[in-house]
Amino acid sequence: MCGIVAYIGKREAYPILINGLRRLEYRGYDSAGVALLNGTLNVYKKAGKVADLENYISGKSKKGSLGIGHTRWATHGPPNDVNAHPHSSDEERLTLVHNGIIENYDTIKKELSARGHQFVSDTDTEVLVHLIDDIQQHTKAPLEEAVRLALTQVTGAYAIVVISQDEPEKIVCARKSSPLVVGIGKEEYIIASDATPIIEHTKKVVYLDDEEVAVICRNEGLRIKDLDNEHKTPYVQELEWQLERLEKGGYDHFMLKEINEQARSIQDSFRGRISIENNTVTLGGMQDFVEKFEQAQRIIIVACGTSWHAGLVGEYLLEDLARIPVEVEYASEFRYRNPVIFENDIVIAISQSGETADTLAAIKLAKEKGAMIYGICNVVGSSISRETHTGSYTHAGPEIGVASTKAFTAQLTVLSLLALAMAKQRNTLSEEKYAQLLKDLNRMPELISEVLKCEKQVIEISKKYQNAENFLYLGRGYNFPVALEGALKLKEISYIHAEGYPAAEMKHGPIALIDENMPVVVVGTNKSAYEKIISNVQEVKARKGQIIAITNEGDDELDNIADHVIKVPNCSEQFSPMVATIPLQLLAYHIALLRGCNVDQPRNLAKSVTVE
């Protein structure tokens, strides 16, 4: 979704802003813009990519050591030059960039229009800059105070950065339900919607809290107030991510790099949390809430997209290993359903970005109803990680490709650890079974390295099916969510229509679609249901469907029935989703590549969905 970067310091702002906007491209956007202040204000904006903006600016003035930049993902009004940010007040006295949605923009716009303000765009954002301008005209208040007063009048979500021709030594920014990070460098500040544009300049950051307004003056540094005008002390944190992790590292795409990183990212997810010698799992997030976990009667998992699929695997793991009932909910449905939540429920919120608006709202609702919330997030310091009572980071490192890959397997790792820790606490597994599962989980990085070797075979399969119009993905038990995730990956980046289904349900509908043109991917790495999967494959073959099967080494029965068999290493069924998902990620990647799609930034999708 939209991205923000801003700079105030001694260096030229333009290269820092453009570089920052490139770093933010992964979030998904359809227009971009910058504003530079250097005596006068120069605002440049363009529909399309950051490169289009750069072409447009080439030859124009880029001077200024203070500036703001934005990538816009259209919500109100089409992605054109006028609707792109920054948006300015009359005569460009003020200009601002905004992420989020101002819900009462229409009412405010009518009032301001009646007072003579001229609006040029279809956006909700433009209202905000005119409102701040209006307040300054009437009160003569400094910019930070006018911003604070304006924000008391708006409802909705915002992360904003505002600059003014009249106050050229300062930047004012604020947030509510949309993240904003202030990076503190040497005599300079970089403000951004996430840490990716900041890391190469400084690792010291302050995450603004909801309803905080920050003012950064060239000489006085950073000051923060809340909307009630109370001073706040900035809490400075150290970023853990390395710059190299934000680069492609020799791969053609971030997605391919991230697929290939999974042996390491899974290891990072359980590093320090498993002890094979002591036969223990330690999750820091559980330790302060031991009693809550002991008393828990039910777990509700809320998430969206790929994280929801991880939640489904979590349901199998927690019910199977820790014998606790689990419900998995789309956060967007949960929050509008008046859900029944009991005191002894634990709500687990899963989110890679930690910023998904629906998941955040579901957490707030569950908290109001008295539940304890456990977060499983990848982005340290994200809104969800701060809104939850406790939790575990996935430690997968920055995920830049819009289609989630390594974050998914890291989420599965944390859910496996949680299920094992709860099983131990509830005494639901024998010592031997527990030890065997722990050893198996510890072997995952090695198995992932092994399964990644199937890429050549996957490329050949991709060539054969690149022109298919539909795909069906089937799986049972632990691998039903893997089928859903495989189908999601393919449709996200190749735009082929794909459906995931529980294998046995196929005969209640999707079987009608099967003919010689229908590729059917069957995830058959479940030991407990292998025979049943073979029957499902026979049903597809009898209708001339094309079978691409994922099976374990040593399971040879499908070799003569399926059109293609991808063999993956054996492991406990509980962890087979981690292994089985890798060929499906590669299949989606290579088919999308062959179809000439933009793998890292698929059309219409955003990495972090910060609107409802």
- Shortest approach of ligand G6P to residue 188 CB, angstroms? 30
Nearer to ligand G6P, 225 or 607 (CB): 607
The DSSP 8-state label assigned to residue 493 in this structure reads H
DSSP notation for 59-83: TS----SEEEEEEE--SSS-SSTTT
In angstroms, the CA 92 to CA 152 distance is: 23
Q: Give me the torsion for CA of 426, 430, 436, 440, rounded to 10°.
A: -30
Amino acid (one-letter) located at 323: R
- Shortest approach of ligand G6P to residue 194 CB, angstroms? 11
DSSP notation for 177-218: BS--EEEE-SS-EEEESSSTTTTTT-SEEEEPPTTEEEEEET
Nearer to ligand G6P, 379 or 422 (CB): 379
Active-site residue (options: 257, 292, 489, 607): 607
Distances (CA, A) of 315 to 273, 283, 312, 432, 477: 21, 18, 5, 23, 10
**Angle subtended at Cα 156 by Cα 150 and Cα 157, rounded to the nearest 5 degrees:** 95
Q: How many residues appear in the chain?
A: 612
Active-site residue (options: 2, 173, 377, 597): 2
In angstroms, the CA 564 to CA 552 distance is: 13
CB 277 within 8 A of CB 442: no
Nearer to ligand G6P, 20 or 401 (CB): 401
CB 357 within 8 A of CB 384: no
- Shortest approach of ligand G6P to residue 402 CB, angstroms? 5
- Shortest approach of ligand G6P to residue 123 CB, angstroms? 22
- Shortest approach of ligand G6P to residue 375 CB, angstroms? 11
Nearer to ligand G6P, 159 or 529 (CB): 159
- Shortest approach of ligand G6P to residue 231 CB, angstroms? 33
- Shortest approach of ligand G6P to residue 363 CB, angstroms? 11
Q: Which residue is nearest to ligand G6P (CB)?
A: 305
In angstroms, the CA 146 to CA 196 distance is: 29
* 3-state SS assignment for residue 339: coil
In angstroms, the CA 291 to CA 283 distance is: 14
- Shortest approach of ligand G6P to residue 378 CB, angstroms? 8
Helices 406-426 & 305-322 angle (0-180, nearest 10): 20
Nearer to ligand G6P, 34 or 304 (CB): 304
What is the gyration radius of the CA atoms in the chain, in angstroms? Answer: 25
- Shortest approach of ligand G6P to residue 399 CB, angstroms? 8
Nearer to ligand G6P, 123 or 332 (CB): 332
- Shortest approach of ligand G6P to residue 610 CB, angstroms? 10
In angstroms, the CA 18 to CA 32 distance is: 10
DSSP notation for 399-440: --SSS-SHHHHHHHHHHHHHHHHHHHHHT-S-HHHHHHHHHH
Nearer to ligand G6P, 307 or 390 (CB): 307
In angstroms, the CA 96 to CA 84 distance is: 11
In angstroms, the CA 176 to CA 199 distance is: 23
H or E element: which one contains 363? helix 357-368
Nearer to ligand G6P, 4 or 147 (CB): 4
Nearer to ligand G6P, 154 or 488 (CB): 488
CB 551 within 8 A of CB 523: no
Amino acid (one-letter) located at 384: I
**Strand stretches in 476-607, DSSP E:** 497-502, 519-523, 546-552, 564-568
Non-local CB neighbours of 388 within 8 Å, separated by 6+ positions:
349, 363, 373, 374, 375, 377
Nearer to ligand G6P, 83 or 353 (CB): 353
Residue 377 designated active-site: no
CA 201: distance to chain centroid? 23
- Shortest approach of ligand G6P to residue 385 CB, angstroms? 11
Non-local CB neighbours of 79 within 8 Å, separated by 6+ positions:
30, 31, 47, 72
Residue 532 designated active-site: no
Distances (CA, A) of 478 to 352, 528, 575, 576: 21, 10, 8, 8
What is the contact surface with ligand G6P in residues (CB under 6 A)? 304-307, 351-353, 356, 359, 402, 404, 605, 607-609
Nearer to ligand G6P, 503 or 588 (CB): 588
- Among residues 100, 99, 90, 44, which one has the least CA distance to residue 67? 44
Residues recognised as catalytic: 2, 607
